[in-house]
Copies of this chain bind each other. A is one copy, B any other.
Amino acid sequence: MKYPPPVKKFPHILHGGDYNPEQWLKWKDKIWKEDMRLAKLAGINTLSVGIFSWTALEPEEGQYRFEWLDEVMDLLAENGMTAVLATPSGARPAWMSRKYPEVLRVNASRQRNIHGDRHNHCLSSPVYREKTSAINSLLARRYRDHRALGVWHISNEYSGDCHCPLCQAKFRQYLKDKYKTLDALNEAWWSAFWSGTITDWDQIESPGGPGSGGHNGIKLDWRRFTTEQFVDFYLNETAPLKKITPETPCTTNLMTAGFSGIDYFRFAEVLDLVSWDSYPRWTSAEGNAEVGLRTSYAHDLTRSLKRRPFMLMESCPSATNWRAVAKLHRPGLHMLQSIQALAHGADSVQYFQFRKSRGGPEQHHGAVVDHEGSENTRVFRDVAELGQRLKSLDALVGADTPARAALMYDYQVRWALDDAKGFLQENTGYEETVINHYRPFWKRGIPLDLIDSRQSLDKYSLVIAPMLYMLREGAADRISAFVRRGGLLVSTYATGYVNESTLAFLGGFPGPLKETLGIWCEEIDALFPGETNSIEWNGKSYRAFDLCELIHGRGAEILGSYGGDFYAGSPALTVNNYGQGKAYYIAARTDGDFLDDFYRKIGAEAGLTPLFDDLPEGVSAQVRGGDEKYFVFLMNFTNREQQVSGQPALAPFEARIIERSSL
């Protein structure tokens, strides 16, 4: 079940965005025509249609109205545009919720939602699956041969969960399939604790109901089950599309930054291509370096889901209305954020939204075309300028990212840590820690993949796995093998505490990685906000905070030690020679000073060369390409001119693309 990669279909960087012409049906003679004129002016070559259009397509059960969409698809084709065509399941028609209440979600408090808003449907409901399948089939059959059809956009921003009786039953079945026996389940959940032993499958209830938080084991399985529900729902949606339009790739727009309710690595397995919605919190002009870093991280994570280029399905050309402070994009930021997406693997720049909706909760969300309606706005000019530039970047389409180092971010490890009681439970800081380990590479222009603990490590010389609290099936083996055959591993505190069922490893942490890392972690100390210790290493003293493990060398060489508290002098940084490789262990949380120095050393050891020597603060570099054809991106996230050696000065917010034949 492999589909042609998008590079086959789209010779150009896609540029466009969400478009809801059904909102302007009454005024279509005026508005739709004008939209086409404006789209061309802006260099737009794609529009996403049909998102949230169910009521427009099926105003009464079984009464379909495709005529308007026919017209829109034709308009797109006439104007040389690719349609990203959506299935409408992101929001149901009201008649459906009324006639079939089972389609509405039930929240954790066991209350059925009322109809309204969006993303509010049961993931199990046979009725809803049948209805989505039916309308998807009709869409596919109607537009299978339409010139405009380019990509299927499945539903919208899947998220949440449902606790209805149908979902409870499916959850029980999921657990039966997984554990086979109650005995296995009870052991995995360690449910003898608090008398939680399950003696009949029917006793199982999804976690979070009134009076019951739920134990670690069931919470983790619920999150896994919910991911599988989305996978399953997605497959139900795409089944008719795959059958009728096998050549057309399917995707759904993820929310990589800030949403962790679905294991996207698992979900990506069933997507043909990955796409996501990026809304960087560009703030005051001075803080943009940090926003740039975090956005790069999210792009890299998105790209790494399939280790292939992705679509930037939504972004905002101006103020994002739903933020507490809806700040305008400063001049230059739109170009910068768009080129940055390309730098990290995007093959498109798309917006929510092409034309502002006249009413509703997102009427003030930035758009290519303002309520004012003309091309005479600053935002429109910014978009058109980008559109012009993208035309020269066809060669970029499909280009790889040549990363030789990987940083682990595992959704399931995050879930296990989020649910764990202990350490710093309200501030476990897993993803923040991953980002802190990402930062030194971003600052120096060294590309990284972001992978979860199930991925192959074959192509890497360096693997960084911070806080690998839970060792999933096979992870310890893969990691150990990687080191044995010469890899460089960096591990940290909070590694190897629990197995895939969140059962603690017996016999000492970091469990099955003890030998590889050559240490035993006896205790972990939690520090109050503001409290610090230090790591003494290489003649310098680095701040340690939040979490400090008390470890013992069990073969590893002690490189650094604690500077304070009752464990002063005990090991804080170790390295273990293991097979052909080396395994580093950082026993405490540290900040940038340490990580900068540490990864400068490690990067050199791993043979990773920065794209530029000593980039100034707030300037980042990235690369795509291969086969002696590389695109190097040099991006200035500051509002000041910046100097990079061997380069003309970078203007404020400038994003430069340099072609090179080697790295």
Contact = CB atoms under 8 A, between A and B. Distances in A.
A359 B199 contact: no
A120 interface: yes
Contact of A209 (B114, B328, B424, B525): B114
A224 B172 CA distance: 42
Interface string A8-33: 00000000000010110110000000
A259 interface: no
Contact of A212 (B88, B117, B211): B117
A357 B284 CA distance: 49
Interface residues of A, number: 121
A54 B188 CA distance: 19
Interface string A325-345: 111101100000000000000
B198 A358 contact: no
A501 interface: yes
A511 B174 CA distance: 57
Interface of A: 20, 22-23, 25-26, 52-56, 59-60, 88, 90-95, 97-98, 104-105, 107, 109-118, 120, 187-200, 202-203, 205, 207, 209-217, 283-284, 318-319, 321-322, 324-328, 330-331, 356-365, 370-373, 377-379, 420-427, 498, 501-509, 520, 522-528, 531, 550, 566
Contact of A120 (B114, B212, B216, B501): B212
A378 B115 contact: no
A257 to B, nearest CB: 20
Nearest to A324: B426
A196 B120 CA distance: 13
Given A91-B194, A327-B527, A210 B363 contact: no
B359 A501 contact: yes
A202 B189 CA distance: 45
A516 B177 CA distance: 71
Which of A422, A426, A531: most chain B CB closer than 10 A?
A422
Contacts of A501: 359
A213 B528 contact: no
Contacts of A90: 194-195
A169 to B, nearest CB: 15
B54 A526 contact: no
Contact of A358 (B22, B190, B202, B422): B190
A195 B502 contact: no
Contacts of A88: 195
Nearest to A376: B522
Task: List the 8 closest pairs (A to B, CB-CB), nearest first.
Answer: A116-B212, A190-B359, A113-B211, A364-B422, A193-B360, A94-B203, A114-B209, A91-B195
A505 to B, nearest CB: 7
Which one of A60, A107, A192, A377 has the highest number of Cβ atoms from chain B below 10 Å of its Cβ?
A192
Nearest to A118: B194
B372 A98 contact: no
28 contacts: A26-B187, A52-B195, A60-B199, A94-B198, A95-B203, A110-B114, A114-B205, A115-B203, A116-B214, A117-B194, A117-B211, A117-B214, A189-B359, A190-B363, A193-B357, A216-B359, A319-B523, A322-B421, A324-B425, A326-B423, A327-B525, A328-B525, A359-B504, A363-B422, A364-B420, A364-B504, A372-B507, A372-B520
A413 to B, nearest CB: 16
A504 B324 contact: no
A590 to B, nearest CB: 18
Nearest to A502: B359
Given A324-B427, A358-B504, 19 more contacts: A55-B199, A59-B199, A88-B195, A93-B197, A95-B199, A110-B114, A116-B214, A117-B212, A118-B195, A191-B359, A283-B528, A321-B425, A326-B422, A326-B425, A327-B528, A331-B566, A372-B508, A372-B522, A378-B523
A127 to B, nearest CB: 17
A116 to B, nearest CB: 2
Q: Is the interface of A mostly helix, strand, loop or mixed?
A: loop
A358 B216 contact: no
A493 to B, nearest CB: 13
Contact of A506 (B20, B95, B358, B502): B358
A34 to B, nearest CB: 11
Contacts of A420: 364
A526 B120 contact: no
B504 A421 contact: no
A153 to B, nearest CB: 15
B361 A216 contact: yes
A193 to B, nearest CB: 4
A190 B504 contact: no
A645 to B, nearest CB: 29
A115 B212 contact: yes
Contacts of A110: 114
B197 A91 contact: no
Given A195-B118, A326-B526, A360 B22 contact: no
Contact of A196 (B25, B55, B506, B507): B55
Given A194-B360, A203-B95, A359-B216, A210 B114 contact: yes
A196 B110 CA distance: 25
Nearest to A423: B326
Contacts of A54: 195
Contacts of A212: 113-117, 120
B192 A56 contact: yes
A524 B318 CA distance: 11
Contact of A56 (B195, B379, B504): B195
Nearest to A372: B508
